[in-house]
Amino acid sequence: MQELDVRGLPPPEPFINIMGALQALPAEATLLVRIHRQPFPLYDVLRDSGYAWQTTALADDDFEILISRAA
């Protein structure tokens, strides 16, 4: 599993960093993203690009998103 922390970055940097990390991610690997808000536009791109994800709200109002290739 690879981890990416984009908390506090201004738009569109979180999106750009997440997509760049996904392009470099091996097919069987997962990416754990920590972000300071729900990235709703990202979800549409993930779905259209063949990724599955699970979002978890954290106690500090941040989010973790576990992203992998859809089966």
Task: Give the CATH number of the domain where residue 45 resides.
Answer: 3.30.110.40
Cβ atoms of 7 and 36 closer than 8 Å: yes
How much is the average pLDDT of 13-28? 95
Range of the structural domain that residue 10 is part of: 2-69
Total domains in the fold of the chain = 1
pLDDT digits (tens, 9 = 90+) for 32-65: 999 999 999 999 999 999 999 999 999 999 999 9
Cβ burial of 10 (10 Å; 0-12, 13-18, 19+) is: exposed
Residue 71 in this model has a pLDDT that exceeds 80:
no
Cβ atoms of 6 and 13 closer than 8 Å: yes
pLDDT at 27: 85
Cβ atoms of 6 and 18 closer than 8 Å: yes
